[in-house]
Structure 1
């Protein structure tokens, strides 16, 4: 059985939730429909004509890409322009395009973590915090016979995390009272008669971002017709998601040696290096994509070097003056996401017993060449 497009995207958004994206980022479904079965998903960095041809060749009905194909509202759709021809080909072949951009950058296990892991960094933080989950306290009263299934349903939906501890709850035994009225179908007791039930008060923590999902899971697992529960706002913050990563190498290396490591780790044809090639490198900041405006963040974090793409001339001069090195592997270094996301999706699809499969695009969308 093949998964519907909506199901595939629910899995993508489990890895890269939309709410953690940078505000106004162009993410989500940009072309086509998800209301159909998907046999194959093509995971790509960019959606170029060559990538679309690849999708047609491998019979993919959905492309999950990192970079948007529509950046601003369209005033027209002329099929004699490069963009128009691209959209026309996608529509004719019924290929949908879904974009996961800064939400995939920011996500735990996303692009910036992939890049940090490729450089074997011991990560200690972000370059810039983007989103912090607010926490709420969920309290629900459950008959003691069903406490385990209700707890597990809430935990499975994302409740119960305190730092790196999962399945956190507090449970108190007590007696609940109620009188089922006419027209009810009580799980315990009879209409018109006061009932006393042995119940457990379960308290747990719920991040605001998964509040609806947790409440729905709790209600579905609860045996009562009418569930007694409370949801309290708390003056506490949960997990913080951010752009970029900062970490340390296991051993200090020279900038020249480190730059060669970056080139190999990201499988790019070249890197541009700013700084004294003989300087020591220990603390590293890494950011996928264009990172010119994050040089100051890297300096503030105490990094010896910033690894990022699209550094311009004047930013490079400012970096030298500020005493920080830069290794620029280009924007295309983000292609590291293709295999990782395809593998992650396939694991989730297999768990769901779906026959849909994801494949990583083999098209190299590197724009620049060295002569």
Structure 2
């Protein structure tokens, strides 16, 4: 499958027109590779480390020519490209080695098998619907039922086991044996959806990047807010995307092994 055919398929499934006004989905760097057979390295965030991983794979006989990322490389208009600047270096390496960078962000968040839908599948939620519907039954976040219900302690254990976050934070709740039957999920930064989650009747909400007073807000509004971290809540969708590409007949597709969480947690041993 050629790169142009892969991108055409993807944009029919998750159109860039679905992105938010502040977002920047689609081609970030396209170094004249559209007619080449697609050999894709999928990642959460396109960084120099991931680019170097792609170059290393090329040096070892795997001619990677596309980095397919969830997070955009370019968010704001560039005013200059200078040596020492990470984006400038990405551009230089992309054209030198003919490795493109394509991004699917808020458009990928909405679709089935996207970031939120994967979390719902991982927790095996039933009767799943979007938190905020958009088009054709799709939308941001997912909410569904646990069958059977779980205690809060068991739900937290499931999240820790299935997502392996380095740090799991949740709203103050003295009774870990409280029963949870309805859960909302949204990968990445989802605290701004707390009001929408309240309207769904969910008892717990799994997302990330929550601030101190957002935990207070959730507690005061009767929602147990669970923060598993940006990386842990979105990385599973990247893994699923690799499988979808392989099922399409892409010659080579692999999940990056150099994706970075950008956070470290100090523990005294």
CA offset digits 1:125-180 (Å, max 9, x no partner)? 111123x3xxxxxxxxxxxxxxxxxxxxxxxxxxxxxxxxxxxxxxxxxxxxxxxx
* In structure 2, distance between residues paired with 1:24 and 1:5: 26
Aligned-residue Cα RMSD (Å) equals 1.7
Cα deviation, residue 328, structure 1: 0.7
Would the aligned equivalents of 1:11 and 1:345 in 2 still touch at CA under 8 Å? no
Select the residue among 3, 6, 12 that pairs with 1:5.
Answer: 3
Structure 1 gaps, min length 5: 133-238, 351-355
Q: Structure 1 residues 123 and 267, CA, compared in 2 at 3 Å: closer, same or farther? A: farther
Alignment correspondent of 2:262: 367
Equivalence map 1:216-227=2 (5 Å): none
Which one has the largest radius of gyration?
1
Alignment correspondent of 2:28: 30
Tell me the number of residue pairs that the alignment of Structure 1 and Structure 2 aligns: 257
CA offset digits 1:186-239 (Å, max 9, x no partner)? xxxxxxxxxxxxxxxxxxxxxxxxxxxxxxxxxxxxxxxxxxxxxxxxxxxxx2
CA offset digits 1:44-99 (Å, max 9, x no partner)? 11111211111112231101100001001111011222332233222322211000
Equivalence map 1:271-282=2 (5 Å): 271-276=168-173, 277-282=176-181
Alignment correspondent of 2:61: none
Tell me if 1:89 matches 2:93.
yes
DSSP-derived class of the 1:22 partner:
coil
Would the aligned equivalents of 1:291 and 1:308 in 2 still touch at CA under 8 Å? yes
Which has more strand, going by share of residues? Answer: 1
Alignment correspondent of 1:331: 230
Normalising by structure 2, report the TM-score: 0.90
Would the aligned equivalents of 1:338 and 1:361 in 2 still touch at CA under 8 Å? no
DSSP-derived class of the 2:254 partner:
strand
Normalising by structure 1, report the TM-score: 0.66
Tell me if 1:345 matches 2:245.
yes
Cα deviation, residue 247, structure 1: 0.2
Structure 2 gaps, min length 5: 59-63
DSSP-derived class of the 2:107 partner:
helix
Shifted more, 316-325 versus 255-264: the winner is 255-264
Equivalence map 1:128-139=2 (5 Å): 128-130=132-134, 132=135
